[in-house]
């Protein structure tokens, strides 16, 4: 009998919490449904699948016939279900109590809805820290899958990585399967015959006689959603041809992970460093460091030693995203604070709704950015903040907070002042800008300060301003998203300039220069600041009154300069059809267009997606210049411009001692 290799084939299906229904429908049409339909026709082809919890719920609700197909494949022993955290959190960055809760919630869901409790688990973005071992083991997970790169970083060689290994932490054991990078890049991008030849070569080059495994587990989106893959995988028949060739081979057999795990022994103990997949090494680093790292990698490839020594040329870790992006760090620390508040509640006061809102705020996608991460996508951040704001309201109902307090929430050495009245919450960064870094409307479940500043990204060096589309390199198969350079929008030099200030609310300038403030003691409810760098003091006072945020400025009567304030508002419709300005009963433009008005005292921002309005009022006429704030990022579809906020620039020649600006926030239909 010829030596055989066991193909352990797995796919991971995920959509971020809060993704657009049209995106989900397209993913189902071009990927999830055809993939399951093809696999169903081949019951002898065993495979593993992980559908993230939120996506699984969505598919069961909207496409029950396809999920019934999956359940039948589970029942006939063709499919192994893999667990994870329910909302696809990065387990390493949430508290251990929430790791356990997330994993158990999802395992129970799989058992109830698809008829199988998982033994294995998918690690979000393959982020490994040994601290996650106890929670996984305590939840009944026996093995997880990580990249072969993780093992190379621990000193293993590729020839070692044809089975599973064992690790331990705090007396708990967990087995680890190494995913083959070679297979990740071949499937489904290389022609079938090349992929089969590679798999059969593993059997041919196994003189030891041990039962070796070829381990594949990667995003199902490569099978239909990535550019060109639908035509390649389904219309040209790659997937069906691959399955047929595997089943026809005398050297390849398909097995479930659970079957291989039960039949084979561990290859020994291993301790992995904190690491994710290899591309993440670059993505987690700040631009200058990422460019240095990328240059070193390129030099290593040119010199011919990269493949042999890449494990020792390592970049950053996943948690670097919190230090790279203040917006990500702020969300994360707000989530941790609410998790701690929930944990302190008596058990009888905790509800399933509270737990679900916490878990939604832990969904990974909005916290990071690389080729796929969604920090740059406002609707994904909005989903996280929706969970945060809803959970905070529920917790406040159980135990009221102070109307005013301060703390250093994001651990940056600068405190934030919290003003809240149960309807609105304004969080003021107590730095020189004295601006509002979070503005929550509890009835709308929305943070109006949820914007993203522009910063230099390492991939900007690939952008050729003015280009729309570059051709891909010719290949015998199709190009991976990692190898593409394409443009969804025309990018100019001005589009990739970094901001010199946070994109918050009420950034003030005098004659075009930023005003620097110092916090002042205030006997009244609110927060009071005084300028430090102006010829005469400017006083800034921030208060809440029911559904109104009021910012009052007081000037010396001798000042004759031009004052301006910049208000960046996260309006969910962005530059879509649902967002519009209303001025004197007319609609002059949408949020995506430039709008200039002189002698303005009142204007309304109306947003269908939000289901609410923001009315801006000024005590004296001002000049308004409103424009969309865009950022430039990359995705698997190419470089793109994404609207992050609508920027309202109010300019006022100081003509009186006081200027009061009010933002009145309403739910549509409420007076």
Which of 94-98, 326-330, 409-413, 523-527 shows the lowest per-residue confidence on average (mean pLDDT)? Answer: 523-527
Which candidate, 147, 222, 223, 221, places its Cα nearest to that of 181?
A: 147
Sign (positive or negative) of CA dihedral 579, 584, 588, 593 = negative
Which candidate, 362, 419, 385, 661, places its Cα nearest to that of 540?
A: 661
pLDDT value for 112: 98
pLDDT value for 481: 47
Helix or strand (DSSP H, E) at 355:
helix 352-361
Yes or no: say if 587 and 580 are a contact pair by the CB < 8 Å rule. yes
pLDDT value for 467: 55
pLDDT value for 472: 40
Residue with tokens 């303005």: 600
Which candidate, 169, 140, 24, places its Cα nearest to that of 82?
A: 140
Count of C-beta atoms within a 10 Å radius of residue 72: 14
Mean pLDDT value across residues 80-92 = 98
Separation CA 326–CA 598 (nearest Å) = 35
Q: How far is CA 576 from CA 296, 320, 591, 615, 626, in A?
A: 42, 33, 8, 20, 16
SS3 53: helix
Which of 15-29, 199-213, 592-606 shows the lowest per-residue confidence on average (mean pLDDT)? Answer: 199-213
Distant-in-sequence, close-in-space partners of 671: CB < 8 Å, separation ≥ 6: none
Separation CA 269–CA 64 (nearest Å) = 42
Name the pLDDT band for 480 (thresholds 50, 70, 90).
very low
318 has a pLDDT exceeding 80: yes
Separation CA 39–CA 254 (nearest Å) = 13
Yes or no: say if 79 and 254 are a contact pair by the CB < 8 Å rule. no
Distant-in-sequence, close-in-space partners of 201: CB < 8 Å, separation ≥ 6: none
The full set of domains in the chain, from first to last, is 5-276 (3.20.110.20), 481-667 (2.70.98.10)
pLDDT value for 476: 55
Count Cα neighbours of 306 within 13 Å in the Cβ-side half-sphere. Answer: 14
Count of C-beta atoms within a 10 Å radius of residue 152: 22
pLDDT tens digits, 244-270: 999 999 999 999 999 999 999 999 999
Active-site residue set: 125, 219
Distant-in-sequence, close-in-space partners of 207: CB < 8 Å, separation ≥ 6: none
Yes or no: say if 332 and 362 are a contact pair by the CB < 8 Å rule. no
Distant-in-sequence, close-in-space partners of 369: CB < 8 Å, separation ≥ 6: 283, 321, 325, 375, 376, 457, 633
Count Cα neighbours of 358 within 13 Å in the Cβ-side half-sphere. Answer: 26
* Range list of H helices, 413-566: none
β-strand pairing of 172-179 with 165-169: antiparallel
Distant-in-sequence, close-in-space partners of 252: CB < 8 Å, separation ≥ 6: 4, 5, 7, 196, 199, 200, 203, 214, 246
Tokens coding 627: 């424009």
SS3 89: coil
Mean pLDDT value across residues 605-626 = 98
Yes or no: say if 465 and 493 are a contact pair by the CB < 8 Å rule. yes
Helix or strand (DSSP H, E) at 182:
helix 181-186
Cα–Cα–Cα angle for 195, 225, 383, rounded to 5 degrees: 135
For 293, phi then psi, to 5°, come to -60, -45
SS3 325: coil
Name the pLDDT band for 484 (thresholds 50, 70, 90).
very low
pLDDT value for 475: 46
Mean pLDDT value across residues 424-439 = 98
Which candidate, 93, 104, 81, places its Cα nearest to that of 131?
A: 93
Q: How far is CA 623 from CA 410, 596, 617, in A?
A: 35, 7, 12
Q: How many residues does the chain have?
A: 671
Separation CA 291–CA 296 (nearest Å) = 9
Percent of the chain whose predicted confidence (pLDDT) is above 70: 94
pLDDT value for 559: 87
pLDDT value for 639: 85
Tokens coding 420: 């809240």
483 has a pLDDT exceeding 70: no
Helix or strand (DSSP H, E) at 418:
strand 416-420
Give the single-character DSSP code of 269.
B
Name the pLDDT band for 459 (thresholds 50, 70, 90).
confident
pLDDT tens digits, 180-237: 999 999 999 999 999 999 999 998 887 666 789 999 999 999 999 988 999 999 999 9
Which candidate, 474, 390, 470, 473, places its Cα nearest to that of 425?
A: 390
Query: Radius of gyration of the chain from Cα atoms?
Result: 27
SS3 371: coil
Percent of the chain whose predicted confidence (pLDDT) is above 90: 86
Distant-in-sequence, close-in-space partners of 24: CB < 8 Å, separation ≥ 6: 15, 55, 58, 62
Which candidate, 338, 398, 326, 343, places its Cα nearest to that of 362?
A: 338
Q: How far is CA 384 from CA 11, 218, 370, 408, 445, in A?
A: 26, 25, 18, 21, 10
Sign (positive or negative) of CA dihedral 235, 29, 27, 608 = positive
Mean pLDDT value across residues 127-131 = 97
Yes or no: say if 463 and 485 are a contact pair by the CB < 8 Å rule. no
β-strand pairing of 579-582 with 612-635: unpaired
> Torsion-angle region of residue 18: left (phi > 0), alpha (psi -120 to 50) or beta?
left
Average pLDDT, the chain: 93
> Torsion-angle region of residue 423: left (phi > 0), alpha (psi -120 to 50) or beta?
alpha
β-strand pairing of 120-122 with 165-169: unpaired
Distant-in-sequence, close-in-space partners of 669: CB < 8 Å, separation ≥ 6: none
583 has a pLDDT exceeding 70: yes
Mean pLDDT value across residues 172-177 = 98
Yes or no: say if 103 and 84 are a contact pair by the CB < 8 Å rule. yes
pLDDT value for 463: 79
Tokens coding 230: 């639908």
Give the single-character DSSP code of 473.
P
């Amino acid at each position: 009998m010829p030596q055989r290799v066991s193909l352990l084939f797995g796919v991971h299906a995920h959509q971020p919490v809060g993704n657009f229904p049209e995106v989900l429908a397209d993913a189902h049409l071009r990927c999830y449904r055809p993939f399951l339909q093809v696999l169903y026709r081949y019951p002898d082809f065993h495979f593993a699948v992980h559908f993230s919890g939120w996506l699984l719920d969505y598919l069961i609700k909207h496409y029950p016939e396809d999920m019934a197909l999956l359940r039948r494949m589970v029942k006939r022993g063709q499919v192994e279900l893999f667990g994870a955290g329910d909302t696809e959190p990065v387990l390493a960055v949430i508290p251990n109590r929430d790791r356990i809760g997330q994993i158990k919630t999802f395992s129970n869901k799989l058992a109830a809805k698809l008829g199988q409790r998982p033994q294995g688990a998918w690690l979000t973005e393959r982020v490994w820290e040994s601290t996650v071992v106890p929670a996984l083991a305590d939840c009944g997970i026996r093995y997880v899958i990580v990249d072969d790169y993780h093992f190379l970083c621990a000193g293993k060689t590729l020839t070692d990585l044809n089975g599973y290994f064992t690790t331990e932490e705090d007396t708990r054991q967990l087995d680890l399967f190494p995913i083959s990078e070679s297979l990740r890049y071949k499937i489904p991008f290389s022609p079938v015959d090349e992929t089969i030849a590679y798999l059969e070569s593993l059997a041919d080059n196994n003189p030891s006689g041990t039962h070796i495994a070829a381990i594949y587990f990667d995003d199902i989106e490569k099978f239909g959603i990535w550019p060109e893959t639908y035509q390649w995988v389904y219309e040209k028949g790659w997937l069906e041809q691959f399955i047929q060739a595997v089943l026809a081979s005398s050297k390849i057999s398909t097995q479930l992970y659970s079957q291989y795990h039960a039949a084979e022994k561990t290859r020994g103990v291993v301790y992995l460093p904190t690491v994710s997949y290899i591309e993440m090494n670059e993505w987690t680093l700040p631009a200058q460091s990422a460019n240095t790292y990328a240059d070193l990698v390129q030099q290593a490839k040119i010199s011919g030693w990269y493949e042999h020594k890449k494990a020792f040329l390592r970049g950053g870790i996943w948690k670097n995203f919190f230090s790279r992006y203040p917006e990500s760090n702020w969300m994360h620390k707000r989530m941790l604070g609410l998790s701690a508040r929930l944990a302190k509640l008596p058990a009888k006061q905790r509800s399933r709704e509270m737990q679900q809102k916490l878990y939604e705020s832990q969904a990974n996608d909005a916290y990071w950015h690389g080729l796929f991460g969604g920090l740059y996508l406002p609707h994904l951040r909005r989903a996280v903040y929706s969970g945060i704001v809803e959970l905070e309201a529920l917790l406040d109902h159980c135990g009221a907070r102070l109307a005013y307090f301060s703390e250093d929430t994001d651990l940056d050495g600068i405190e934030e002042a919290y003003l809240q009245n149960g309807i609105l919450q304004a969080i003021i960064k107590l730095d020189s800008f004295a601006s509002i870094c979070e503005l929550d409307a509890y009835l709308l479940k929305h943070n109006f300060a949820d914007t993203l500043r522009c910063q230099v990204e390492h991939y900007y060096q690939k952008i050729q301003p003015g280009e729309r589309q570059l051709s891909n390199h010719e290949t015998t198969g199709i190009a991976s998203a990692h190898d593409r350079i394409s443009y969804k929008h025309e990018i100019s030099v001005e589009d990739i300039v970094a901001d010199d200030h946070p994109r918050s609310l009420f950034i003030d300038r005098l004659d075009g220069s930023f005003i620097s403030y110092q916090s002042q003691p205030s006997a009244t409810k609110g927060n009071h600041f005084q300028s430090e760098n102006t010829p005469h003091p400017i006083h800034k006072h921030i208060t809440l009154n029911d559904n109104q945020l009021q910012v009052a400025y007081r000037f010396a009567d001798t000042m004759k300069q031009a004052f301006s304030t910049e208000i960046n508002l996260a309006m969910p419709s962005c530059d879509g059809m649902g967002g519009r300005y209303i001025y004197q009963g007319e609609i002059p433009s949408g949020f995506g267009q430039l709008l200039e008005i002189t002698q303005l005292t009142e204007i309304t921002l109306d947003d269908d997606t939000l289901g609410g309005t923001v009315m801006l009022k000024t005590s004296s006429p001002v000049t308004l210049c409103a424009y969309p704030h865009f950022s430039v990022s990359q995705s698997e579809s190419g470089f793109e411009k994404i609207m992050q906020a609508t920027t309202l620039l109010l300019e006022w020649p100081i003509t009186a001692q006081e200027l009061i600006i009010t933002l009145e926030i309403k739910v549509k239909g409420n007076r």
